[in-house]
């Protein structure tokens, strides 16, 4: 994992986007994986309003990002259900 408090993984450059955008543009799946494991926000858009997965031609990277995106949706749904159960039981 990338764990350096001095690096902002979600920092967006006006010209190239986030570190995730750069890794996707370069087709570097290992860096994409490390960024995901470090908690990078995959929903951020670059200066052209593109998601990182829209900046690569590497199908493995697109698959990885879409799989992670689905996992995050499921996790948010579980949290929402848990929160509603807590509210009902109060």
Cβ neighbours of residue 47 under 8 Å, at least 6 residues apart? Answer: 14, 15, 16, 17
Q: How far apart are CA 50 and CA 44, in angstroms?
A: 8
- Give dist(CA 36, CA 69) in Å, integer: 10
Please write the tens of the pLDDT for every residue from 12-66.
888 889 999 999 999 999 999 999 999 999 999 999 999 999 999 999 999 999 9
For residue 88, the model assigns a pLDDT of 56
Tell me what pLDDT residue 76 has.
Answer: 81
pTM: 0.79
Tokens of 8: 């902002």
């Amino acid at each position: 994992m990338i764990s350096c408090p001095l690096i902002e993984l979600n920092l967006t450059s006006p010209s190239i986007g986030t570190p995730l955008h750069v890794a996707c543009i370069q087709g570097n799946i290992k860096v994409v994986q490390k960024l995901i494991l470090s908690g990078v926000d995959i929903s951020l858009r670059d200066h052209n309003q593109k998601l990182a997965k829209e900046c690569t031609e590497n199908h493995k990277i697109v698959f990885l990002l879409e799989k992670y995106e689905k996992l995050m949706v499921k996790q948010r749904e579980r949290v929402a259900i848990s929160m509603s159960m807590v509210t009902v039981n109060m």
